[in-house]
Chains A and B, each alone.
Chain A
Amino acid sequence: MDAQQLESEARNGPDIAPTRSPEPSTRGSSVSESRRSQLLSIADSALGYMSLEDMLSELLERIRSSLEVDTAAVLLLDEDRGVLVARAARGLEEEVRQGVQVPLSRGFAGRVAAEARPIIIEDLDHAEVVNPILRQKGIRSMLGVPVHVEGRVIGVMHIGTLVLRHFDEDDVTLLQLAADRAALAIDNARVSEQRAVTEIMQRTLLPDTLPQIPGMRFSAKYLPAGSGIKVGGDWYDVFQLANGRVAFVIGDVVGRGVLAASVMAEIRTALRAYMAQGHKLAEVVSMLNDLLVSMGRSRGATLSILELDPEAEELEAVTAGHLPPLLIEPDGETRLLEQTHGLPVGVRTGHSYQACRYPFPTGSRLLLYTDGLIERREESIDEGFRRLTTAAHAAAQRTDSSFADRVYRSLLDETPLEDDVALLAVETAPLEDTLDITLPARPNVLGGLRNTLGRWLRAVGAQENELFDIALSASEAATNAIEHAYGARQASFTVRCEYDGQQVIVTVRDTGRWRTTRPQGGGRGLQIMRSLADSVEVNSDEDGTIVTIAKRLSHQA
């Protein structure tokens, strides 16, 4: 994102203003010898091994003695606030201590930055100056040059004298040389700083483990492009909701670097919060959009959010300006889930989003990705979709690594990355005949457990009422297991489901003991289990409690 980039309209090369043209050097022929040593002192490669602070300080000191001036300072541009901030100074140390800030276009340094050219002030008494320290110090003449990287102004370097001084062309050239030397170091330091912060944010923000849900497999890839501050706008997320449905998100915040990563963190948190509150998918995206606009986020984002009900085998999707997810049906047919109405989020308030539903039978696969996966220079997007579809087909035939990895490798293996790539793959497979589930002892897993049991029971041929009776009984046993674990941090419990062709047996095991006296509700859970199942056995010993629930199915395999 370059929204706040400074437009450099100035011509290159020294253009001295406001009152006079540069004069030829007046220091005669001996100058060339001293110039040589000045240049050497500035170009000294030893400067490259110092920290940025030390390097700037040393460079300014060398400039001060070479050019025989009293002050030298560097101010760096804070692009987001549009101000120059004093970063290093010699003879003007107050400037840094007080954190002097000069708005762009104003004052001496502000003009140097805005006009991107050297400026000379012959006599400070007759010039506009924002920084009061310059006057307090009694500075009379000043020369400032822009510090730029790749044609973009990132700051200003200026020198000053306490007596009137005519800065000439040689002074300008030498100071510009020093500024260029500083630019390199500043840029390197910034890049590694940004990269470090962004990488930490990425690591924190991308899920470190993907959820474990029986009959579902997730795989993901995240690859930051090349180097430096180009890292950071893409993300993905997967989480299971308390009702058992599973949400998938992929998105791309406009821009790169720490700011893009922080907007991505806001979006991720807002989506998780709205989803947890039980809002419908389209509503969630509308709320997120309004939130981002109201927070004045100048960076928009594209995203796709999908919600899968594994038991109902149904997928709901909302796309906000993002590339369409690819659905691969069990028979290998592919389908781009295109939606035309969804604007990127954070752009226009009040936009309403629409959800589309798609069947997602067992054996279906889904690919969510960002543009870096398929977009190539000098190639139409349709060509990109075609390659994606081919890669997905090929990947579906193999099993040598994760699905995301196979798709990624067949698309990008030999191509250098031009952009970040995030890729999330979802696959569903039939549940095992004997289902074994281990769950953390937390109440918010109950919905997911009932959803998985529903899927399994449907597969073994249970009728609607049998499915309800068994799933609710198992859920009651699980609630008890969770209550026993109260206070234990890493506690978990297991559920095993078996069908012998006649009856379903669900075994719920925990490592706690059933309380004989229960606070409220009495044994209502047990009463429900006994009423709905054919038989319920509870066995407790010092290792824990095992509940065995059995029920015959009317339709028998």
Chain B
Amino acid sequence: MSALDIERIDGVPIAHVSEDLDAANAATVQRQLTDTLGPDASTLIVDLSDTRYLDSAGIDMVLRLSDRLDHRRAKLILVIPDTSQLKRLAEIVGLSDAIPIHPTLPAALHEAANPQTQTATPPGTRTAGSSNA
């Protein structure tokens, strides 16, 4: 499954995911996302705006990816619109406590460009200290 559409804005890699993330494709997508980061980027934005379902395998994958990026001193940021069902899911399972989630791509890019100014990020954003280790 190559459900990814990759772009770079100001050097920040952004992976737009257009398909569901589930047990069928989680491992493949994780590998593709890791490849997307490249050796020198310090942030990876994963845009889930067009993703309809994210199951437990998908959530585990996102958390594993975040851990791996932490080890490389890089950061994972998710884009999930406020209207998405995934927003509710992310809160229920605690994903939003572990990984910064922004409702729009500009908000995510803003955090990528200003990693120190988390408090200035737009509403709908939650960040957890652990992701900035």
**A residues lining the B interface (CB < 8 Å):** 242-243, 276-279, 443-444, 446-447, 450, 464-465, 468, 471-472, 475-476, 479, 482, 520-521, 524-525, 527-528, 531-532
Q: A520-B60, A521-B57 are known contacts. Are A447 and B93 too (CB-CB below 8 A)?
A: no
Q: CA–CA, A443 to B58, complex, Å?
A: 13
A-B contact pairs, 10 of them (CB 8 A): A243-B19, A443-B22, A444-B24, A464-B85, A468-B85, A472-B55, A476-B56, A482-B23, A532-B89, A532-B92
A277 CB, min distance to chain B CBs, angstroms? 4
Are the CB atoms of A446 and B85 closer together than 8 Å? no
Contact of B59 among A279, A443, A464, A524 (CB under 8 A): A524
Are the CB atoms of B24 and A471 closer together than 8 Å? no
A335 CB, min distance to chain B CBs, angstroms? 29
Residues of A within 8 A of B60 (CB): 520-521, 524
Q: CA–CA, A528 to B57, complex, Å?
A: 11
Residues of A within 8 A of B1 (CB): 242, 276-278
Q: A242-B1, A472-B53, A520-B60 are known contacts. Are A465 and B85 too (CB-CB below 8 A)?
A: yes
Residues of B within 8 A of A521 (CB): 56-57, 59-60
Are the CB atoms of B3 and A443 closer together than 8 Å? no
Residues of A within 8 A of B55 (CB): 446, 472, 475-476, 479, 525, 528
Are the CB atoms of B19 and A531 closer together than 8 Å? no
Q: A443-B24, A465-B85 are known contacts. Are A528 and B56 too (CB-CB below 8 A)?
A: yes
Residues of A within 8 A of B59 (CB): 521, 524
Residues of A within 8 A of B24 (CB): 242, 443-444, 446-447
A549 CB, min distance to chain B CBs, angstroms? 14
Determine whether B88 belongs to the interface, using a CB cutoff of 8 Å to chain A.
yes
Determine whether B42 belongs to the interface, using a CB cutoff of 8 Å to chain A.
no
Interface residues of B in 39-60 (CB under 8 A from A): 52-53, 55-57, 59-60
Q: CA–CA, A279 to B59, complex, Å?
A: 24
Are the CB atoms of A446 and B93 closer together than 8 Å? no
Q: CA–CA, A520 to B67, complex, Å?
A: 14
Q: A524-B93, A531-B93 are known contacts. Are A443 and B20 too (CB-CB below 8 A)?
A: no
Determine whether B117 belongs to the interface, using a CB cutoff of 8 Å to chain A.
no
Q: A465-B85, A528-B93 are known contacts. Are A479 and B3 too (CB-CB below 8 A)?
A: no
Interface residues of B in 68-118 (CB under 8 A from A): 85, 88-89, 92-93
Q: CA–CA, A468 to B59, complex, Å?
A: 16
Determine whether B131 belongs to the interface, using a CB cutoff of 8 Å to chain A.
no
Q: CA–CA, A393 to B52, complex, Å?
A: 38
Q: Which residue of A lies closest to B85 (CB)?
A: A468
Q: CA–CA, A464 to B23, complex, Å?
A: 23
Are the CB atoms of A279 and B2 closer together than 8 Å? yes
B81 CB, min distance to chain A CBs, angstroms? 14
Q: CA–CA, A464 to B53, complex, Å?
A: 12
Determine whether B25 belongs to the interface, using a CB cutoff of 8 Å to chain A.
yes
Residues of A within 8 A of B53 (CB): 450, 468, 471-472, 475
A557 CB, min distance to chain B CBs, angstroms? 23
Q: CA–CA, A279 to B23, complex, Å?
A: 20
Contact of B88 among A278, A279, A465, A527 (CB under 8 A): A465
Q: CA–CA, A444 to B60, complex, Å?
A: 18
Are the CB atoms of B23 and A243 closer together than 8 Å? no
Q: CA–CA, A524 to B98, complex, Å?
A: 15
B side interface size, CB within 8 A = 22
Q: CA–CA, A399 to B33, complex, Å?
A: 50
Residues of B within 8 A of A528 (CB): 55-56, 89, 92-93
**B residues lining the A interface (CB < 8 Å):** 1-3, 18-20, 22-25, 52-53, 55-57, 59-60, 85, 88-89, 92-93
Residues of B within 8 A of A468 (CB): 52-53, 85
B83 CB, min distance to chain A CBs, angstroms? 10
- Having A446-B23, A475-B22, A524-B59, one finds 14 other A-B pairs with CB under 8 Å, namely A242-B1, A242-B24, A243-B20, A443-B22, A447-B24, A468-B85, A475-B53, A476-B55, A479-B23, A479-B55, A479-B56, A479-B57, A521-B56, A528-B55
Q: A276-B1, A471-B53 are known contacts. Are A242 and B25 too (CB-CB below 8 A)?
A: yes
A455 CB, min distance to chain B CBs, angstroms? 14
Residues of A within 8 A of B92 (CB): 528, 531-532
- CB-CB nearest 6 A-B residue pairs: A443-B24, A524-B56, A468-B85, A521-B60, A525-B56, A277-B2
Are the CB atoms of A443 and B23 closer together than 8 Å? yes
Q: CA–CA, A278 to B28, complex, Å?
A: 12
A313 CB, min distance to chain B CBs, angstroms? 16
A376 CB, min distance to chain B CBs, angstroms? 44
Q: CA–CA, A24 to B25, complex, Å?
A: 82
Are the CB atoms of A446 and B22 closer together than 8 Å? yes
Q: CA–CA, A532 to B89, complex, Å?
A: 8
B22 CB, min distance to chain A CBs, angstroms? 5
Q: Which residue of A lies closest to B64 (CB)?
A: A520
Q: CA–CA, A242 to B19, complex, Å?
A: 9
Are the CB atoms of A527 and B93 closer together than 8 Å? yes
Residues of A within 8 A of B93 (CB): 524, 527-528, 531
Are the CB atoms of B18 and A278 closer together than 8 Å? yes
Q: Which residue of A lies closest to B92 (CB)?
A: A531
Q: CA–CA, A278 to B2, complex, Å?
A: 5
B23 CB, min distance to chain A CBs, angstroms? 5
Q: CA–CA, A96 to B59, complex, Å?
A: 67
Are the CB atoms of B20 and A450 closer together than 8 Å? yes
Residues of A within 8 A of B20 (CB): 243, 446-447, 450
Residues of A within 8 A of B22 (CB): 443, 446-447, 475, 479
Residues of B within 8 A of A243 (CB): 19-20
Q: CA–CA, A443 to B57, complex, Å?
A: 11
Q: CA–CA, A520 to B59, complex, Å?
A: 12
Q: Which residue of A lies closest to B86 (CB)?
A: A468
Q: CA–CA, A170 to B99, complex, Å?
A: 95
Residues of A within 8 A of B19 (CB): 242-243, 278, 447
Q: CA–CA, A476 to B55, complex, Å?
A: 7
Q: CA–CA, A444 to B57, complex, Å?
A: 13
Q: Which residue of B lies closest to A520 (CB)?
A: B60
Q: Which residue of B lies closest to A277 (CB)?
A: B2
Residues of B within 8 A of A482 (CB): 23
Q: Which residue of B lies closest to A280 (CB)?
A: B18
Q: CA–CA, A525 to B54, complex, Å?
A: 11
Q: Which residue of A lies closest to B17 (CB)?
A: A278
